[in-house]
Chains A and B, each alone.
Chain A
């Protein structure tokens, strides 16, 4: 059970999954931090991005990694349009309305996918899908990690770094942070708040575009695939502190490892329960600051 030869690969696998979780959670935490809403359409949007990558590969034969800029741009545009055209218009300045509208959008997206693609689970086959890399570990332990998972790990961390740079180092990032902190003040400084809202939502979904490209070579897509991710992402965002980027990153990696080890010891589906138990435990032990503070 505690054999390093089994534990080490499990932890590494968990880290690679966790990095993608972190990417999904980064988008969610950004949207929360700026718009102060929980985006219930997050999982459905990830599902759409996965289908986009899938179709580009199936129909046009384009490589999932090569289409990353395209999918990211497409998801950004979708997010911008959704926020500006629907969510903002429906909110009437009330949080509950945004909650319901993002839920409505999620229902529409998921079931449109069900209508078009049926409920079949689809995977793609690339030259590197089954390649593995041997990673030596401490005390002679060795782990065979699937190459796509390794790429996903690196890619997710790189995307997270790019996002942090954007937020810290550019005027847009400063504008976003200003709006997140003090909406009225930002408006008085000449920042177009509506535009920043839509851009933030767009960036949130763009993270999902990147996640989809890194996920699909080693994962699958079906209309319900997003709902699994969305609760995990919520858990991570809660764990890391709502609106915190570093928290989302660490939380993602932690949850990935917990899921992997939980799966190892208790079987796959109970490993999932482990995540929800963390979620509830965080609520019990540290609700303040992590959760209920801003309700």
Chain B
């Protein structure tokens, strides 16, 4: 209940900010920070609560983006109808890859490796296929109307992604309080013990993988609507995979607000470096990499972990 209240306050505050701000810079910052939040939240559902570290979450992102594009360009569907299709496509790919990986008990490094390899296979295949536009990519024609999910002002995109983030927050809150979430965390903490209690680790992890991928697919669809363009490198390249896992890890894995904090911190950091040093290729990722190493070394529980420690210190007890 407290989680729901906190989500309501968060959504109201960000919504008010989006509605009231007159600054284009602010609007853009909030929108992109929310987009980064969505990626981090999606990764957190599987990585944070399920303990399965995917290094290739772009697999689901790219699939969502391509499905969104192909459904509109080749299928002639309206954008709002393509969006659920994109989500389903990403979830379907996750069901396949997840079934393959979890069926054979791949964990830890191995799961990371398999997701990475699949993302790479999809990238190479997307470079070949005609209906994904091969190396040229796919371009969404400009058609500014709410029905086409294309907005003249960034405000529209801001509200669209805020809606998706809200859904992801609700899904996370559900994981925290539902029986399914309890099973998932049990499998994460000790798979053998969980199995002994009658939990099916395969089905549990697979469901979490599909849920996580669904949000990743939605993020891909959002990306396409906002930037009107997708190519194999953007869709399946490592940048999105890294951004997703980094936001969750920096903020704090397996927490409700960690990915929000992490994505905000990283996005602020990358904006600040861009202002300081200009748009040097690679600089952003260098900083992301350094942050990842520093966080894992010094604060392995992320920003939310620091908050938790401070609170415990304050209350003077261990809960």
Residues on A close to B: CB < 8 A? 37-38, 40, 86, 89-90, 92, 94-97, 99-101, 103-108, 110-115, 118-119, 223, 227, 231, 234-235, 269-270, 272-273, 276-277, 279-280, 283-284, 287-288, 291-292, 295
Contact = CB atoms under 8 A, between A and B. Distances in A.
A115 B53 CA distance: 28
Contact of A287 (B104, B112, B292): B104
A271 B300 CA distance: 40
Interface in B261-301: 280-286, 288-293, 296-297, 300
Top 8 nearest A-B pairs (CB, nearest first) are A107-B289, A114-B282, A104-B292, A108-B289, A111-B282, A90-B297, A287-B104, A111-B285
B6 to A, nearest CB: 28
A287 B290 CA distance: 34
A118 B117 CA distance: 26
B104 A283 contact: yes
21 contacts: A90-B296, A96-B53, A99-B53, A101-B292, A101-B296, A104-B290, A104-B291, A104-B296, A106-B289, A107-B289, A108-B293, A114-B281, A223-B282, A227-B238, A273-B125, A276-B121, A280-B121, A287-B105, A292-B106, A292-B107, A295-B109
A266 to B, nearest CB: 10
Contacts, number: 131
Given A105-B293, A118-B281, A119-B281, 13 more contacts: A38-B109, A100-B245, A100-B292, A103-B242, A104-B291, A106-B289, A107-B242, A108-B293, A112-B282, A270-B124, A273-B121, A276-B124, A287-B105
Contacts of A235: 117
B120 interface: yes
A117 to B, nearest CB: 10
B296 A295 contact: no
Nearest to A277: B121
Interface of B: 53, 55, 100-101, 104-114, 116-118, 120-121, 124-125, 127-128, 238, 242, 245, 249, 280-286, 288-293, 296-297, 300
A279 B56 CA distance: 16
Contact of B286 (A40, A101, A108, A270): A108
Contacts of B290: 104, 108
Contacts of B281: 114-115, 118-119
A187 to B, nearest CB: 24
A90 B293 contact: yes
Chain A at the B interface: mostly helix, strand, loop or mixed?
A: helix
Contact of A295 (B108, B127, B249): B108
B293 A86 contact: yes
B296 A100 contact: yes
- Most chain-B Cβ atoms within 10 A of its Cβ — which of A111, A112, A273, A280? A111
Nearest to A116: B282
B128 A270 contact: yes
Contacts of B116: 231
Given A90-B293, A107-B289, A231-B120, A280 B106 contact: no
A234 B113 contact: yes
A292 B106 CA distance: 5
B280 A115 contact: yes
A115 B297 CA distance: 25
Given A108-B293, A270-B128, A291 B109 contact: no
Contacts of A105: 289, 293
Contacts of B120: 231, 276
Contacts of A104: 289-293, 296
Contacts of A92: 300
A89 B115 CA distance: 27
Contacts of A37: 109
A38 B282 contact: no
Given A101-B297, A111-B282, A295 B117 contact: no
A107 B288 contact: yes
Contacts of B280: 115
A92 B299 CA distance: 11
B126 to A, nearest CB: 11
A291 B112 CA distance: 13
A295 B109 CA distance: 7
